[in-house]
């Protein structure tokens, strides 16, 4: 792809961008959210067309221009999207082979056995034991991601675009995926790999291309750069300027006051087992552990999404009963969920509507909405959280991942909470956006909000938290102060070791 330009409504989002792919290589496409990575890949996959008279696309020696994704896919270009796009009410087999012509018998009936056998072969080729007859709606997010990968591989692709493919996978599943990538390289497949995880990029990539603000910055062998240099290329700033290293000690509230949130031996009879903890106003507590440790389930139990079977929840020292999220919200508890697309946002609504949805009843007077007050409040949150948007009326899905996450946070701040539950608050956002979200979290804690944060990224846990709690198999295994916590200690307890 040479000198590619793309504009939307007169706004240029790609400016003379170049990328070269070779057989049997992993090519890392790097840049902040909003840098133009997804737009470039959508042009490569036929979703968008480049601007007229803009550069050229040469595929296997011939200049090409796809009119739609089917044309690109039929030529051997497949995409594994970051946002899962399966049909939940269909089987795994139907999802994997969707878009192909199903074989039929003499009576015109679909040969379902052949479909499931074909899907089973594809699943087994990536080491998955999923039943192709199972309904997609019964799968976990990680399992759905494996189905997405299987679907892309079922077309015998020559170019495979992977957009954050490991975001929802366990460490074991990630290693399995890397093994699949190695096999695909041996077969000559060119892989475009988009990820914000530096360790992955340097582990599996051969070459890279960096975009910034829609501009091509650099391409070359991955061996000729370093994580620090790569971050500087992506954001134009040094790595040392990006991460929160410490909070001012005077802003952390003393422990002799009443906890904002206290859990006493709570269990959900599933993954949460006899958990007790205290969370104080003005404090950020990181909740670490491996996938499946029960961290998300603990957050959901506090917020009333999962049923509390045993134990007590106290807010400001008072016993409370939380049977559903509405009751949790009324008590001053806010919850930023793990999946912003499926659980945090209404994708067909505007930025303003998403920010204010949790408080819509308060804007009603005589059965009419107070639109001027709504506009004022939406603009205030957009400004306070630094949401980059064309206007408050813009569709929320038109924002970058980091700005979507800010909208989710703004939505919950609108209820003026006492306790903020964060589940993977920076998943799928770039380094620059992570820094901005970290600063927002620290600012909220400095203002007296009690924050409980689940994160699988240990540098994030260590950089932001005042205390760190480690879970394993539904139990709290350790409590570490900011000073004593290290990645090694956290992993020691997260794997079930107890001193």
CB atoms within 10 A of CB 363: 15
**Separation of alpha carbons 167 and 79, rounded Å:** 15
Q: Hey, which residues does 135 pair with through a beta bridge?
A: 91
Among 366, 333, 340, residue whose Cα is nearest residue 354: 340
- Residue 249, token pair as written in the block: 């000690």
Among 97, 86, 82, residue whose Cα is nearest residue 137: 86
**Separation of alpha carbons 61 and 83, rounded Å:** 32
**Measured on CA atoms in the order 239, 253, 466, 447, is the torsion positive or negative?**
negative
CB atoms within 10 A of CB 366: 5
328 with 304: CB under 8 angstroms? Answer: yes
Q: How far is CA 257 from CA 196, 260, 317, 333, 400, in A?
A: 39, 9, 10, 19, 40
**Residues sharing a CB contact under 8 Å with residue 293, sequence separation 6 or more, in sequence order:** 471, 472, 473, 474, 494
Pair type for strands 57-59 and 62-64: antiparallel
> How open is the CA angle 488-492-294, to the nearest 5 degrees?
115
- Backbone region of residue 188 per phi and psi (left: phi > 0; alpha: psi in -120 to 50; beta: other values): left
**Separation of alpha carbons 181 and 203, rounded Å:** 12
Residue that is written with structure tokens 């491996």 in the block: 290
CATH topology of domain 249-494: Rossmann fold (3.40.50)
Among 49, 37, 41, residue whose Cα is nearest residue 8: 49
Residue that is written with structure tokens 């134009």 in the block: 236
The predicted-structure confidence for 391-444, as pLDDT tens digits, reads as follows 888 988 888 778 888 898 888 888 889 999 999 888 777 677 788 888 888 988
**What pTM does this model have?**
0.62
The per-type count for the chain, helices as H runs and strands as E runs, is: 16, 22
Domains of the chain by residue range: 4-240, 249-494
Domains 4-240 and 249-494 share a fold: yes
454 with 422: CB under 8 angstroms? Answer: yes
Task: Just give the CATH number of 4-240.
Answer: 3.40.50.300
pLDDT in single tens digits along all 499 residues of the chain = 999 999 877 778 899 999 999 999 999 999 876 688 888 999 999 999 998 878 899 999 999 888 898 899 888 898 887 667 788 899 999 998 887 777 777 787 888 888 899 899 888 887 788 999 999 988 877 788 788 888 888 877 899 999 888 766 767 778 888 888 898 899 899 999 998 778 889 999 999 999 988 899 999 999 999 888 887 888 765 544 555 545 555 445 555 689 999 999 999 878 899 999 999 999 999 999 877 788 999 999 999 998 899 999 999 999 999 999 999 999 999 998 877 777 778 888 899 998 988 888 888 888 888 888 989 989 998 988 888 888 888 988 888 778 888 898 888 888 889 999 999 888 777 677 788 888 888 988 998 999 999 988 788 888 899 999 999 888 999 999 988 988 888 888 887 655 4
């Amino acid at each position: 792809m040479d000198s590619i330009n793309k504009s939307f409504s007169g706004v240029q989002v790609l400016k003379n961008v170049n990328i070269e792919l070779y057989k049997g290589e992993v090519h890392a496409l790097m840049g902040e959210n909003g840098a133009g990575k997804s737009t470039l890949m959508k042009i490569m996959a036929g979703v968008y067309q480049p601007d007229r008279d803009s550069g050229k696309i040469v595929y296997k020696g011939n200049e090409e221009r796809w009119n739609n994704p089917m044309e690109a896919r039929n030529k051997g270009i497949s995409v594994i999207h970051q946002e899962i796009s399966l049909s939940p009410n269909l089987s795994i087999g139907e999802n994997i082979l969707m878009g192909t012509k199903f074989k039929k018998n003499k009576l015109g009936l679909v040969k379902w056995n052949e479909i499931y056998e074909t899907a089973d072969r594809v699943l087994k080729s990536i080491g998955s034991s999923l039943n192709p007859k199972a309904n997609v709606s019964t799968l976990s997010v990680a399992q759905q991601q494996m189905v997405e990968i299987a679907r892309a591989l079922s077309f015998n692709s020559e170019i495979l675009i992977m957009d954050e493919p490991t975001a929802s996978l366990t460490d074991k599943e990630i290693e399995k995926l890397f093994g699949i990538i190695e096999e695909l390289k041996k077969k000559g497949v060119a892989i475009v790999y988009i990820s914000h995880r530096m360790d992955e990029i340097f582990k599996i990539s051969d070459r890279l291309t960096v975009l910034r603000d829609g501009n091509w910055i650099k391409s070359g062998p991955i061996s000729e750069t370093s994580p620090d240099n790569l971050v500087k290329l992506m954001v134009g700033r040094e790595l040392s300027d990006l991460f929160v290293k410490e909070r001012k000690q005077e802003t952390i509230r003393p422990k002799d006051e009443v906890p904002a949130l206290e859990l006493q031996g709570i269990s959900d009879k599933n993954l949460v087992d006899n958990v007790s903890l205290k969370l104080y106003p003005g404090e950020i507590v990181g909740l670490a552990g491996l996938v499946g440790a029960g961290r998300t389930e603990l957050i959901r139990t506090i917020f009333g999404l999962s049923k509390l079977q045993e134990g007590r929840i106290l807010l400001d020292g008072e016993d409370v009963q939380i049977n559903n999220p509405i009751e949790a919200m009324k008590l001053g508890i806010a919850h930023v969920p793990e999946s912003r697309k499926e659980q945090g946002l209404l994708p067909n609504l505007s930025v303003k509507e998403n920010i204010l949805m949790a408080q819509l009843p308060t804007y009603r007077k005589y059965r009419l909405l107070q639109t001027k007050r709504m506009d004022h409040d939406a603009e205030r949150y957009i400004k306070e959280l630094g949401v980059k948007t064309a206007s408050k009326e813009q569709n929320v899905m038109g924002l970058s991942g980091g700005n979507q996450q800010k909208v989710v946070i703004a939505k919950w701040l609108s209820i003026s909470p006492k306790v903020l539950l964060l589940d993977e608050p920076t998943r799928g956002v770039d380094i620059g956006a992570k820094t901005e979200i970290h600063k927002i979290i620290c600012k909220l804690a400095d203002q007296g909000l009690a924050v409980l944060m689940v994160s699988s990224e240990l540098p994030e846990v260590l950089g932001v938290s005042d205390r760190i709690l480690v879970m394993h198999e539904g139990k709290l295994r350790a409590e570490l102060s900011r000073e004593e916590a290290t990645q090694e200690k956290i992993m020691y307890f997260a794997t079930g070791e107890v001193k």
